[in-house]
A and B are shown apart, each in its own frame.
Chain A
Amino acid sequence: MASLGKLAAQGAAATTLKSQNGGEYSARAIGFLFALWFSLFVAVLFLGTLIIVTVIEGAPKFSLNLFTEYSSSNPDNAGARAAIFGSVFVIATTAVLAIPLGVAAATYLEEFADKRRWWNRLIELNVQNLAAVPSIVYGLLTLGLLATVGFKSKNFVLAGGIALALLILPVIVIATREAIRSVPSEIRQGSLALGASPWQTVWRQILPSSIPGIATGSILALSRALGEAAPLLLLGALVYVTFDPTSLMSGFTTMPIQIFSWTGRPQEGFHELAAAASILLLVLLVIMNGLAIFIRNRFQKRW
């Protein structure tokens, strides 16, 4: 009450619009702004240094050989061909497994689940939590799954795909739910009022309208999977592979793992190769993220 009275008195006294305490340009505001700028500067500095060092180190080895040659004991004629193909195969498998499953799960949760039922609320809560689980846990889960089913080998494309699909599933579910939720309910009602079933409404209105959001979320999730090493290490992907994968049951290695493996070698030449492969991985990630941003901006908000 006292402070209220004081405020009123102050209000009465302040007859001009001039700032009483420096306003936007007070010492505190400027100090705070500097702190923000400094944090940003430190973050960018580290990132920039990392990128520059990597580029300088990897540039000599960033050549055609990187794409065409298999790894070898001699860094001068080693390449990342097996790892590149391995990454492509594993990520494609991941996409095929995770996207339909994630979209279906999200559609169920948004459009069909009765939110008053405790099990649906529990599922929702768990999906949120799963997104925060460390990636290595998904490797362990896949390992357990393979052992239960009775597989002898564990380092094959499908196993890697399963581990990464489990990893990104919650992200895809969350992104798809966002996309579905942004479809105005008027569209849903309009469709149902014309005698469409809920199923037809989902299939012909909700999902087509959600595609940009689903695509953006999926690409970002896949780009995360592309850079992931931990769950695949558990599956024994840290192997010397000198062939292209040809099927879901082929052995494989991937780019992050190849980089990891090369970095551990004593010869300087392998470190350069690791840097070169890192450049390639970075370029791929930038392209994927750029694509996601492009899709988001291009198709956003048509209502």
Chain B
Amino acid sequence: METNSPDQPASSATVRPTPSDVALPDQPDAVLTCDNVDVYYGSFKAVEQVNLGFGLNEITALIGPSGCGKSTLLRSLNRMNDLVEGARVAGTVSFMNEDIYGPGVDAIEVRRRIGMVFQKPNPFPKSIYDNIAYGARVTGMKVSSMDDLVEEALTRAALWDEVKDKLKQSAYGLSGGQQQRLCIARTIAIKPDVILMDEPCSALDPIATMRIEDLMQELRKDYTIVIVTHNMQQAARVADRTAFFTALPDETTGNRTGVLVEYGKTGQIFGAPNDKRTEDYISGRFG
């Protein structure tokens, strides 16, 4: 149950303009960059020639019709694609100017610094407490007090008040929205620099969605966030910058390969898109 949600009508969040547009620099101060990134599954090229920078303490939204490679690109940003058989990245993805696919780079360390929240809440079949402590335990993080770490992470994820009396209970007893916030808490407990979110609200109801969106606004003060969403209102509400992707069919093979169409401040993308395809998409004419 989402009982003590902030008593804020959903509509006020919907109409909120993107105030950060004003203060936002023209070019992002990128912590994570893609240079000419192609991603392949075997011989199939799923994403082609992406050049993109994700700004420090900004929220960047990746939008586009389904199948255009948003998740694929996102997974290549923290080497989660390594787990997919046949997946391969060409070009350069760099985190703080270091190629994350470079020789000697430890994929585990990459994932520790660049966390990920998934589409479907995926708590572990463990207690709430152990879910949060898991990352610190496996990475051997030095913590003076695990209890404090758990409390801090849950507080930051706006979940502490709801679960503080049942930390030892199974995480499966939580609602979907609470589970997703637990997954966010679990991710911030290992203190990453970047958080990647793949449609984190698509399995949630509107109130739970709103709470996650509020949470993201809180988190952007300390984290760089990249969110994939198919919900354009959500991109407009939360993101500082938006990248629009689409899938182009190859003339010879007919395979559809994802390309970055347009990238800019969210206000510009939604207010005055430069590309006809972006305009069509955001006005709901296709996708």
Contacts and interface: CB of A to CB of B under 8 A. Distances in A.
B202 to A, nearest CB: 14
Contacts of A302: 125, 172
Given A186-B118, A190-B122, A195 B85 contact: no
A195 B120 contact: no
B96 interface: no
Contact of B124 (A115, A116, A192, A205): A205
B85 A115 contact: yes
Interface in B64-84: 78, 80, 83
A282 B80 CA distance: 51
Given A190-B123, A190-B124, 14 more contacts: A186-B118, A190-B118, A190-B183, A191-B124, A193-B187, A194-B111, A194-B112, A194-B134, A194-B138, A195-B135, A196-B135, A197-B138, A302-B125, A303-B125
B89 interface: no
B80 A195 contact: no
Interface string A187-208: 1111111111100100011000
A209 interface: yes
A192 B83 contact: yes
A192 B85 contact: no
Contacts of A204: 134, 138
Interface of A: 114-116, 184, 186-197, 200, 204-205, 209, 302-303
Contacts, number: 68
Contact of B111 (A186, A195, A303): A195
Contacts of A200: 138
Interface of B is mostly: helix
B80 A192 contact: yes
The 5 closest A-B pairs by CB, nearest first: A195-B112, A186-B122, A194-B135, A196-B138, A193-B116
Contacts of A190: 118, 122-124, 183, 186
Interface in B108-126: 108-109, 111-112, 115-116, 118, 120, 122-125
A114 B187 CA distance: 29
A205 B126 CA distance: 9
Contacts of B80: 189, 192-193
Given A115-B85, A186-B120, A195 B172 contact: no
Nearest to B120: A186
A299 to B, nearest CB: 11
Interface of B: 78, 80, 83, 85, 108-109, 111-112, 115-116, 118, 120, 122-125, 134-135, 138-139, 172, 183, 186-187, 190
Nearest to A114: B85
A209 B125 contact: yes
B73 to A, nearest CB: 16
Contacts of B118: 186, 189-190, 193
B13 to A, nearest CB: 28
Interface-central residue, A187, A190, A192, A303, by most chain B CB under 10 Å: A190
Interface of A is mostly: helix
A69 B186 CA distance: 61
B108 A197 contact: yes
B142 to A, nearest CB: 14
B111 A116 contact: no
A193 B78 contact: yes
A31 B123 CA distance: 52
A303 to B, nearest CB: 7
A114 B125 CA distance: 27
Nearest to B189: A194
A287 B113 CA distance: 51
Given A115-B85, A189-B83, A205-B124, A195 B116 contact: no
Contacts of A116: 85
Nearest to B131: A190
Interface-central residue, A115, A186, A187, A200, by most chain B CB under 10 Å: A186
Interface-central residue, A114, A188, A194, by most chain B CB under 10 Å: A194
A195 B190 contact: yes
B39 to A, nearest CB: 17
Contact of B138 (A114, A184, A187, A195): A195
A190 to B, nearest CB: 4
7 contacts: A184-B122, A189-B118, A190-B183, A193-B116, A195-B111, A197-B138, A302-B125
A27 B136 CA distance: 68
Contacts of A193: 78, 80, 111, 115-116, 118, 187
A194 B186 contact: yes
A303 B179 CA distance: 13
A196 B78 CA distance: 13
A197 B79 CA distance: 13
Nearest to B110: A195
A193 B79 CA distance: 9
B187 A189 contact: no
B34 to A, nearest CB: 19
B122 A187 contact: yes
A194 B122 contact: no
